[in-house]
Amino acid sequence: MIDYLTGAIVILAGAALLLPLLQLSKRSSEKLPGYLLSLALGVAMVFLLMFTINPTQVSWSGNLIAPDKLGGIFALVTVGVTLAVALASIDYQKGPSNPVYYSLLAFTALGMVLLAYAQDLLLLFVSWELMSLPTYVLAGFDKKIRSNEASVKYAIIGAMSSAVILYAISLAYGLTGSTQISQVVQQFVNHPTALAGVATLLFVAGFGFKMSIVPFHMWIPDAYEGAPTTISTLLAAATKKAGFIAAIRVLLAITTIYVVTQSPLFTMANVFAVLAVLTMTLGNVSALTQKSMTRLLAYSSIAQAGYMLIGFVAFSNAPGSAAASLGLTGTIFHVINHSVMKGVAFLAAALVAMQLRRSDLKAYDGLARRMPLTAFTLAVAFLGLAGVPPLSGFWSKLILVLSVANGPYAWLALAAILNSAFSLGYYAWLIKRMYIDDPESTEKVKEPFWFVMVFAVMVGLIIGIGLFPQQVISFASSAASSFVG
Amino acid sequence: MSFVLSLLIALPLFATPIVYALFKVNRRLGIYGSLAISTVVVLITAYIFWQVYATPPAPGQYLFQERYSWVSFSYFGLDYLVGTDGLSSPLLFVSALLTVLAIYGSRKLIDHHEAEYYSLIFLFEGAIMGVFSSLNLILFYIFWEVVLIPMFFFIGVWGGPRRKYAALKFIIFTFAGSTVMLLGFLYFYMGMSTPTFDIPAIQTLLLTHQVPVALEYLPLLASFIGFAVKLPLFPFHTWLPDAHVEAPAPISVLLAGVLLKMGGYGFLRISIGLFPNASAEYAWVFLGLGLFSMFYGAVAAILQKDMKKMIAFTSINHMGFVLFGAYATLVSGNLLGIQGAIFQMFTHGLAVGCLFMLSGFIQHSAGTREIPKLKGLGKIMPRTAAILMLGSAAAMGLPPFASFLAEFMVISAGISASAFTAISILVPVLTAGYFLWMIKRTVLSPAEGGHDVHDMGWADVAGFAVFLIPLVVLIVASYLVLTPALPVAQFLKGLAS
């Protein structure tokens, strides 16, 4: 009997391969491929959920796949975001090449699922590429100048990051003679040579591109702005999280070595702490000055990556301690919350861009009177992203900050808290624009069915997890301990 | 297990959508519905207030305690824990009372987006009830932050000409202050050997010396920043005049009468209640800051031309008394300080709430709040002028209003703290000075120009009487507040080792 994970993989691969066939039929409806992919993703999610609740060995995979809860959470989150994107695209994406669009989405989803479970560097790299290559095409799918520019820029930077990862893998294999992550890490920890440090830093850089960590973030605002906004949703809420699972699997295991030199300054925890504070500060400061919604969300997304890194700091600083467990739980929990909050914010921005044909911030003045559901969705998402209780983002930030609140990295906790307060500057300012400022025209704007459904589910998640966080937190906590144990 | 406090928090929260729906049906129905629901809330708080008076909980104990497990995983435990004592029960009562009065006054002063306005008032009330009854630090913080969201919209949507600026300034100031406070809590939690967020549990640990004193300093500083912004204390006060001037009058009542009390409550419940040793060590700093704020608020108030801004600075002056009284007890051991601080929060809410609401009525009928432009109120608007004189008398602490007793108690604790802090006795002189000057210019001056202004009706006079009558009653029956406040004062004083 095949296990649920294999089932999910087969469904996603089938959708990816079979959807383009619809292109051959001249009479098929424009919306059919979107419905088919959503159905496939929905079924795949159910399978992944079954597998996560009751993980079994995957017989065919050898040592390639780690059937743990950690992978399950990331697979569920990324496929869930893809499902939201696919549903919203039913209203958003027009044109004859629809089947190809949805097929590319399916390929990306497949890549992200494999990546979530990968415990071998080669599978990790292959699924990384499987996830990334379709997104280069998708980013340019609008066939407009900006979209194409975004696509090319994203493809070049993406290829570079893949090359960096591959180089790191080759170094790791040269040093340890294995591509199994656990063995590579074991060897790195036992023989912390300078070259192992270099390989580690290359991993940080390679994954950092996808995770949108400063200083590897420059492509993010341009790509998010130029790409169709639904695809920006996918990039910000799903593929970015895939970068995080890769980093958790590879980098968090490497905790005790010093990077490059044996100086106590160059510990992994210090590297992560510096990256975290740079990322959140630069993201927030830049977000404040943006004039376009997609760019603002892009920078806010960068800032959020900085918060997620706090868990890495707590974990690397004292592996096995209570703070480490809190930190990893916080990171996983924030990954879940951020996917929902940023995903729905981007989708709302996509709807505004589609209906009003503009994405500058002026379009959002008085939005509450023109598109009340969209404005409410954005307001809840913004408050959640700022960490205002009792929304889901509050809890994950609380746990992240708690993990470093007392100890050598208390300054990082202070930085995170101040950043959070600072970020409310632009979030509250946008809410002010939507609810208090006057619109240029008071004409009501249509809010299509699938968008509203996706908004309702995701806003429900933000508020629901905020009020009753217990289930999701203990899920994240058990995923964290499945990684440690 | 009792459920009264949960009912008290849940009733306004559930009323939020109900009131919205009522207004969509019919405006009158909405207003009567809002008044009815908020009156029920007052009755519940009155019951709680009476129970706390009739059977005051022993020092360190809380009435109406409820506990449910909320979030817990391997290294983290968080309970929903509420309870009340002589510190919070008067504040619950006065907050509920002011909410009814704000709704009663709003029916004339608010004229657009009424459904949203009244439903947000209930969201605000529910969150406030939560703040004053939480006995868990994270729960406290959550309610504390929820209070900000309706207030942001109140100022931003229903405010005056510069409302957008004032709303943003308000939310950024207070959010920044409270996140720092949260960080202090988290630092404290991670430093304890048996980590907990429950206030009674932490106090038990404190009494058995299981919390290292060194752990108290940073959280005290962090919570000080959070509470000083709310109180507000010089130099963290700059959001307050903007917020007050722009907010509609009923919201100013809630801002001054309820929101500022969160700061005073926080100082007593958390700064002193959880970090007693550090508080005692630095008590003179807080004493000095409170004293300075008292003088600063009074002097700044003299300089104001806008009546509402003047009352806003009066609040800074009056809330300085709260901090001053609380820490005077730590320095001198004189329990009158903390008792007076609790009493002062109660009386200030009513006296200044009355004046703020009045400034809204004056603006509504005279078209201005500028003190130099308001002339001959005594002739033109005799009923308004009478209320203004009575409200001012209450605010400057003239008998037979209970504010006199509250300020008297705080000042006597100040005198026993040191010879220098006895200077606080000059503050009421200044307060009386600017109020009398204001009355001389507005009420007693000869009338000028048009007489097309209209006085308030008797129904409104009755509304204002509700602000003032409890103050007169309480100077006779001060034991209603002071008896349950005594064990709180004893407990807080005894916490420091």
**pLDDT tens for each residue of chain B, 497 residues long:** 689 999 999 999 999 999 999 988 888 899 999 999 999 999 999 999 999 999 888 888 898 999 998 988 877 888 999 999 999 999 999 999 999 999 988 888 888 888 889 999 999 999 999 999 999 999 999 999 999 889 988 888 888 888 888 888 888 888 888 999 999 999 999 888 888 999 999 999 998 888 888 899 999 999 999 999 888 888 888 888 888 888 888 998 998 889 999 999 999 999 999 999 999 999 999 999 999 999 999 999 988 888 888 988 988 999 999 999 999 998 888 889 999 999 999 999 999 999 998 888 888 888 888 888 888 787 888 888 888 899 999 988 888 898 899 999 999 998 988 888 888 888 888 888 888 988 888 888 887 765 566 777 888 888 888 889 999 998 889 899 999 999 999 999 888 76
Residue B497: its pLDDT value, please?
62
CB contact under 8 Å between A424 and B171, yes or no, is yes
CA distance A475 to chain B (A): 9
Residue A169: its pLDDT value, please?
94
Of A325, A329, A405, the CB nearest to B187: A405
| pLDDT tier at A258, thresholds 50, 70, 90 | low
**Do residues A229 and A161 touch, judged by C-beta distance below 8 A?**
no
**Residues facing A180 on adjacent strands:** A120
Give the position of tokens 């000042």: B411
Mutate to test the interface with B, among A431, A434, A472, A475 (most CBs of B within 10 A): A431
State percent of chain A over pLDDT 90: 54
Say how many residues make up chain A. 485
Residue A53: its pLDDT value, please?
86
Query: Which residue in B449, B452, B252, B212 sits closest to B356, CA to CA?
Result: B252
Residue B52: its pLDDT value, please?
92
**In angstroms, what CA-CA distances link B296 with B229, B232, B399?**
15, 12, 24
CB contact under 8 Å between A436 and B164, yes or no, is yes
Reduced to 3 states (helix: H, G, I; strand: E, B; else coil), residue B136 is strand
CB contact under 8 Å between B189 and A323, yes or no, is no
Q: How far is CA B165 from the centre of its chain?
A: 23
Residue A117: its pLDDT value, please?
92
CA distance A210 to chain B (A): 30
Contacting residues of B for A420, CB less than 8 Å apart: 179
CB contact under 8 Å between A477 and B73, yes or no, is yes
State percent of chain A over pLDDT 70: 96
CA distance B169 to chain A (A): 9
For residues A228-245, average pLDDT: 91
**In angstroms, what CA-CA distances link B153 with A101, B11, B15, B41, B124?**
42, 21, 18, 23, 11
Rounded Cα gap, residues B327 and B470, in angstroms: 27
Of B149, B152, B186, the CB nearest to A405: B186
Residue type, B396: M
In this predicted model, what pLDDT tens digit does every residue of A160-191 receive, in sequence order? 999 999 999 999 999 999 999 888 888 888 88
Rounded Cα gap, residues A199 and A188, in angstroms: 10
**Do residues B374 and B442 touch, judged by C-beta distance below 8 A?**
yes
Q: Is A390 on the interface with B (CB under 8 A)?
A: yes
Residue B451: its pLDDT value, please?
57
CA distance B180 to chain A (A): 7
Of A417, A418, A473, the CB nearest to B73: A473
Predicted ipTM of the assembly: 0.90
Which one is predicted more confidently, A92 or A333? A333
pTM: 0.92
Residue A163: its pLDDT value, please?
95
In this predicted model, what pLDDT tens digit does every residue of A350-394 receive, in sequence order? 999 989 888 888 889 989 889 999 999 999 999 999 998 889 999
CB contact under 8 Å between A329 and B73, yes or no, is yes
CB contact under 8 Å between B172 and A421, yes or no, is yes
CB contact under 8 Å between B172 and A405, yes or no, is no
Contacting residues of B for A411, CB less than 8 Å apart: none
Q: Is the pLDDT of residue A261 over 60?
A: no
Distant-in-sequence, close-in-space partners of B302: CB < 8 Å, separation ≥ 6: B430, B433, B434, B437
Residue B448: its pLDDT value, please?
72
| pLDDT tier at A264, thresholds 50, 70, 90 | low
CB contact under 8 Å between B145 and A389, yes or no, is yes
Residue B184: its pLDDT value, please?
93
Residue A28: its pLDDT value, please?
66
Residues 321-350 of A with CB under 8 A from B: 322-323, 325-326, 329
Q: Where are the domains of chain B?
A: 285-497
Buried b (16+ CB within 10 A) or exposed e, B487-496: bbbbbbbebb
Residue A255: its pLDDT value, please?
63
Sign of CA dihedral B6, B12, B16, B18: positive
CB contact under 8 Å between B138 and A398, yes or no, is yes
Reduced to 3 states (helix: H, G, I; strand: E, B; else coil), residue A44 is helix
CA distance A363 to chain B (A): 18
For residues A413-421, average pLDDT: 92
Q: Is the pLDDT of residue A485 over 70?
A: no
Residue B199: its pLDDT value, please?
92
Rounded Cα gap, residues A225 and A218, in angstroms: 12
Rounded Cα gap, residues B108 and B413, in angstroms: 42
Query: Which residue in B144, B137, B273 sits closest to B198, CA to CA?
Result: B137
CA distance B92 to chain A (A): 22
CA distance B191 to chain A (A): 6
Give the position of tokens 């699922």: A113
Of A413, A425, A473, the CB nearest to B172: A425
To the nearest 10 degrees (0 to 180), the angle between helices B27-54 and B4-25 is 170
Chains A and B form CB pairs within 8 A to the count of: 103
CA distance A421 to chain B (A): 5
Contacting residues of B for A326, CB less than 8 Å apart: 75-76
| pLDDT tier at A256, thresholds 50, 70, 90 | low
Could you write out the DSSP letters of every residue in B88-128? HHHHHHHHHHHHHHHHHHHHHH--SSHHHHHHHHHHHHHHH
| pLDDT tier at A277, thresholds 50, 70, 90 | very high
| pLDDT tier at A453, thresholds 50, 70, 90 | very high
CB contact under 8 Å between B71 and A390, yes or no, is no
**Do residues B435 and B392 touch, judged by C-beta distance below 8 A?**
yes
CB contact under 8 Å between A420 and B179, yes or no, is yes
Q: Where are the domains of chain A?
A: 289-485
For residues A144-166, average pLDDT: 90
Contacting residues of B for A397, CB less than 8 Å apart: none
Q: Is the pLDDT of residue A196 over 90?
A: no
Of B72, B152, B189, the CB nearest to A428: B152
